[in-house]
A = this chain, B = another copy of it.
Amino acid sequence: MRRIGLLTSGGDCQALNAAMRGVVKSLLNSGEQIELYGFLNGYQGLINGNYRMLDWADFSGILTRGGTILGSSRTPFKTIREPDENGHDKVEEMKHSYYKLNLDCLVILGGNGTHKTANLLREEGLNIITLPKTIDNDLWGTDMTFGFQSAVDIATQAIDCIHTTADSHGRVFIVEVMGHKVGFLTLNAGMASGADIILIPEIPYDIDKVVKAINRRKEGGSKFTIIAVAEGAISKEDAKLSKKDYKKKLEKSPYPSVSYEIAERITEKTGQEVRVTVPGHTQRGGSPCPYDRVFASRLGAEAGRLILKGEYGFMVGYKDREIVKVPLEDVAGKLKSLAPDATIIKEAKMLGISFGD
């Protein structure tokens, strides 16, 4: 008999259910006796001992369903060592839940923040396996995360829609794509939808270069310009500020998000009206795309295999087209980001895409 806990933490994304179904299917198909405990709403459920027992029926038909059947929440790593609302140490509470249920392993699905806490629990002696979930694809140690391709698809569809209306009206349009720290999602959605300008956190932009790219298009006879802007796009001047000063600046900003500021600056410099569209949370939602369903299922299957072999303390990741295990201590606290001189950026530039640099 193996007793396995499951939890999903952080902002939700597509294929969380597919990944959990993969873990559970591979455990149940192994022939061993398994008991499944699902902690509700992320680490919160582990802290409060809020769980429910799961059986196979809970995982039937969820391959294609967005969201997470366990619910999720953000539990900031920063405050993980602070007492919870009952004055108890959160880490101790989590360990208590784990040991009380006599778990053999806890499977945690999440992104960067989640992995820091997962590694902490590993250091505290718990048996942990993690799966890389994030639409940002910014987890260190894996070439790909699930949720990413689904989010690319949704953001691309949004820009596709904007394309026809931009063309009809001869307008400049900004579509703001999710990604505060990394630009993978914006870059891929922008390339997939034929965006003319792509602004990402990794490549601070010069507004004059952006304006120049718009004007170059106009001179070439193109009536419209599509700009894909990551939430974390930053100007060259702002990039010189300290992190703290920039944060302050953002807090005082009169703009709902960076896109609106960029829009205003383009209008100032060109006299042209600029429209902003923010697909927002739609990018995390809906049914996972086929790529993510296969990918998350494979990761889940391998997680099941590690559990059956008793190999703990790993994130199941993807390297050079193979599913691999990566030590949690290597993953925690690191961020994978897009090098400004990555081949894909060079290729995008060859295609005539401006990064405003």
Contacts and interface: CB of A to CB of B under 8 A. Distances in A.
Nearest to A144: B321
Given A29-B351, A156-B290, A285 B164 contact: yes
B191 A297 contact: yes
Contact of A289 (B153, B298, B304): B153
A143 interface: yes
The interface residues of chain A, by DSSP majority, are classed as helix
A128 B284 CA distance: 43
A1 interface: no
Interface string A151-169: 0111011101111110111
Given A277-B281, A297-B351, A67 B158 contact: no
Copy tally for this chain in the complex stands at 4
Interface of A: 8, 11-12, 14, 16, 22, 25-26, 28-30, 41, 63-68, 71-73, 143, 149, 152-154, 156-158, 160-165, 167-170, 173, 188-189, 191-194, 223, 256, 275-286, 289-291, 293-294, 297-298, 300-302, 304-305, 320-323, 343-344, 347-348, 350-352
B351 A68 contact: no
Contact of A191 (B16, B293, B350): B293
A68 B282 CA distance: 27
16 contacts: A12-B165, A12-B168, A16-B168, A25-B351, A29-B351, A64-B160, A67-B167, A152-B291, A157-B286, A191-B293, A191-B298, A279-B279, A300-B351, A301-B347, A302-B347, A320-B320
Contacts of A169: 11-12, 71-73
Given A223-B71, A256-B256, A282 B161 contact: yes
A180 to B, nearest CB: 16
Contact of A286 (B28, B71, B160): B160
B305 A26 contact: no
A245 to B, nearest CB: 25
Contact of A284 (B65, B165, B170, B283): B165
Contacts of A277: 278-282
A290 B195 CA distance: 13
Contacts of A279: 158, 277, 279, 282
B347 A188 contact: no
A164 B153 CA distance: 16
Nearest to A189: B290
A63 B194 contact: yes
A189 B282 CA distance: 15
A170 B40 CA distance: 11
Contacts of A281: 161-162, 165, 173, 275, 277
